[in-house]
Amino acid sequence: QVQLVESGGVLVQAGGSLRLSCAASGRTFSTYFMAWFRQGPGKEREFTAAISPSGRTTVYADSVKDRFTISRDNAKNTVYLQLNSLKPEDTAVYYCAARSIVLSQRSNDYNVWGQGNQVTVSS
């Protein structure tokens, strides 16, 4: 089973961009479906984006579509989330997650989680 370590969370102004990274340990990263979730202040954890093992299939929440991009580099055992045109409502702790079968938007379907990374967007 992989272990996930995230990096890249910062304070950024509205309209800005940043990239989150999630590095995985283990040799089987390329077989995992990967996803990003986020949890804003006082909110439940919500799906943000997901990607298939090959990277050919991606899915996004409507709230981030056309602004965020999920990608992966299997040679580096890393999944990324590029966040553009950030809004104050994007402020949240961002988590990467992994599961071994079927791309899913439900957090309960993922059994491996990163530690979370705070992203704060100021207005």
Q: Which tens digits make up the pLDDT trace of 75-114? A: 999 999 999 999 999 999 999 999 998 999 999 999 999 9
**For the segment 7-54, what is each residue's pLDDT rounded down to a tens digit?**
887 899 999 999 999 999 987 999 999 999 999 999 999 999 999 999
What pLDDT, on the 0 to 100 scale, is given for residue 7?
A: 86
111 DSSP assignment: -
First to last CA, the chain: 40
61 DSSP assignment: -
Closest CA to 35 of 88, 97, 94: 97
What pLDDT, on the 0 to 100 scale, is given for residue 27?
A: 77
What pLDDT, on the 0 to 100 scale, is given for residue 35?
A: 98
C-beta of residue 117 within 8 angstroms of C-beta of residue 8: yes
* 27 SS3 class: coil
